[in-house]
């Protein structure tokens, strides 16, 4: 039975792994009894291949949850298949809204135009929560250099009421990500070369101009910056997250 104090568990884990490298944090976390059942959640986006490669080296059978919103770029779906095959990931699970949920909430596929929060909620947050109900912790690719509330990231975070988040790359720089990809000859998402440094659903993602923030192409023209699958203080992020 896991200790129900998330703060205590996160604190113990951070103390235990404070001086470990990202790969070692991941390697040990997938079998640490203080974490319990663990899954990786991956968007198969611009930088996702780093963690996916690490997982393929230490635990290729680890559950990898991939949210198919049915509004992704075709290139993302093809990239997901390519990366999973190349890395030998054996437990990639596609999750998403049910046909009944889509028919009820967004029958004509236009909800993102009038209420993007609601669209993200039923296409991403609800399916992910449903899938994560089987796990005690999940692994993310979030990093301090991404800014906002992420500036204070630790390797392990409480996600009330019952789960922990694991951020193996929390202390990496942008340069570390690019160097790892180059050194391991990892396949790049094809949209990155076309000006998409952050990739979400096709209707809500646009190219980024030189000098713009890498996430400025997400929900361009609105103050929305997060889809809601990440939490702050146990609450889903809605709108802009201030530093």
CA 113 to chain centre: 23
53 is in an annotated binding site: no
The tokens describing 55, both together, are 């997982």
Considering the candidates 40, 227, 229, 237, report the single residue annotated as catalytic. Answer: 227
Active site residue 227: yes
119 is in an annotated binding site: yes
204 is in an annotated binding site: yes
Cα angle 30, 3, 23 (rounded to 5 degrees) comes to 20
131-135 CB contacts, 8 Å cutoff, 24+ apart: 131/39, 131/65, 131/93, 131/95, 132/39, 132/41, 132/65, 132/163, 134/37, 134/39, 135/36, 135/37, 135/38, 135/39, 135/63, 135/163
197 is in an annotated binding site: no
Active site residues: 227
Please enumerate, by residue number, every residue annotated as part of a binding site for [4Fe-4S] cluster.
119-120, 201, 204
């Amino acid at each position: 039975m896991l200790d129900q104090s998330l703060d205590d568990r996160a604190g113990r884990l951070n103390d235990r792994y404070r001086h470990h490298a990202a790969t070692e944090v991941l390697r040990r976390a997938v079998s640490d009894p203080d974490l319990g059942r663990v899954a990786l959640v991956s968007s198969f986006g611009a930088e996702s291949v780093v963690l996916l490669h690490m997982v393929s080296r230490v635990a290729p059978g680890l559950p990898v949850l991939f949210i198919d919103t049915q509004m992704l770029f075709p290139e993302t779906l093809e990239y997901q298949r390519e990366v999973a095959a190349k890395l030998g990931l054996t437990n990639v699970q596609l999750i998403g809204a049910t046909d009944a949920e889509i028919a009820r909430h967004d029958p004509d596929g236009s909800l993102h135009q009038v209420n993007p929060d609601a669209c993200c909620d039923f296409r991403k947050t609800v399916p992910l929560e449903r899938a994560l109900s089987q796990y005690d912790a999940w692994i993310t690719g979030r990093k301090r250099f991404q800014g906002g509330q992420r500036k204070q990231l630790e390797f392990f975070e409480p996600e009330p009421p019952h789960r922990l988040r694991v951020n193996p790359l929390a202390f990496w720089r942008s340069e570390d990500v690019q160097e790892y990809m180059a050194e391991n000859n990892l396949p790049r998402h094809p949209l990155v070369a076309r000006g998409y440094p952050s990739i979400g659903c096709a209707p809500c993602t646009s190219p980024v101009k030189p000098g713009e923030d890498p996430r400025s192409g997400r929900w361009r023209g609105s103050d929305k910056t997060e889809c809601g699958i990440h939490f702050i203080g146990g609450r889903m992020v809605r709108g802009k997250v201030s530093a």
